[in-house]
Amino acid sequence: MSVSQLTNAAQDYLKAIWSATEWSPTPITVTQLAERMGVRTATVSDGIRRLAEQGLLEHAPYGSIELTETGRTHAVAMVRRHRLLETFLVEVLDYAWDEVHDEAEVLEHAVSDELVERIDARLGHPSRDPHGDPIPTADGRPHLPDATQLSRAPLATALIVTRISDADPAVLRALARRGIRPDTRLTVLGHDDEAGGPTVALTPTAAPMPLDGNIADAVWVTPAAE
């Protein structure tokens, strides 16, 4: 069975389960998955049961959800589709980076494997999407950078933004207004108790910029090269 032969709901579940653990080692639970997908826990439980019967995941009662190797393969294929579509919408169709998530959520169920590979070739085989999320390769290899949330980054260290979560378009717009995108260089000057997040500077001489905690948590950084 290819990923295209799965129902849209099955594709959504697998992608959501895999994505939830991409940047965290903790497996997702039914309750968390229901919150993530905006449906009732009973609906998720039924969906999980059907996927388990198909051999796509394992779920102990009241425990976490684990993808099987087959389930993981399908999930990564859906993540690849989604991120390539987001990149295509931004780079070719001039969408803003805060507009593409919902569009890609719809399109990823409709495109064929052939179209996905043609989009990949047309874009020059990009390694990441507009938010910095890594695009898995055609053979299903994800390549997660060794990044840290900005809220946990060390002080007085030159950093480069690697990835920004696209879970909240308002956060993307707020960061864009502040000039923070993937590849932005910055330094954490300290932590602002009132804002609940770090104070950063985009250059050594720039004015300090306090960030709210929820904004800082959406930004992932790596040490800048010397």
d(CA 165, CA 147): 13
Mean pLDDT, residues 12-28 taken together: 88
List the domains of the chain with CATH numbers. Answer: 1-144 (1.10.10.10), 148-223 (2.30.30.90)
> What tokens does 9 get?
């709901």
Residue 89: predicted pLDDT: 98
Nearest to 181, CA basis, from 157, 164, 204: 164
For residue range 65-85, what is the model confidence (pLDDT) as tens digits? Answer: 999 999 999 999 999 999 999
Max avg pLDDT among 55-64, 120-129, 196-205: 120-129
Nearest to 29, CA basis, from 67, 59, 54: 59
CB atoms inside a 10 Å sphere around CB 134:
20
Residue 1: predicted pLDDT: 63
CA dihedral 206, 208, 213, 214 (to 10 degrees): -40
Give the distance, in angstroms, between the CA of residue 38 and the centroid of all CA atoms in the same chain: 17
Residue 226: predicted pLDDT: 63
The answer to which of 15-29, 47-61, 83-97 has the lowest mean pLDDT is 15-29
Between the alpha carbon of residue 121 and those of residues 7, 13, 115, 134, 136, the distances in Å are: 27, 27, 10, 16, 14
Residue that is written with structure tokens 């399109």 in the block: 107
d(CA 140, CA 121): 16
> Which of the four pLDDT bands, split at 50, 70 and 90, describes residue 95?
very high
Mean pLDDT, residues 45-74 taken together: 91
> Which of the four pLDDT bands, split at 50, 70 and 90, describes residue 26?
confident
**Alpha helix ranges (H) inside the chain:** 8-20, 30-37, 41-53, 69-91, 100-107, 113-122, 169-177, 213-217
For residue range 132-173, what is the model confidence (pLDDT) as tens digits? Answer: 999 998 888 877 888 999 999 999 899 999 999 998 999 999
**Average pLDDT score, the chain:** 91
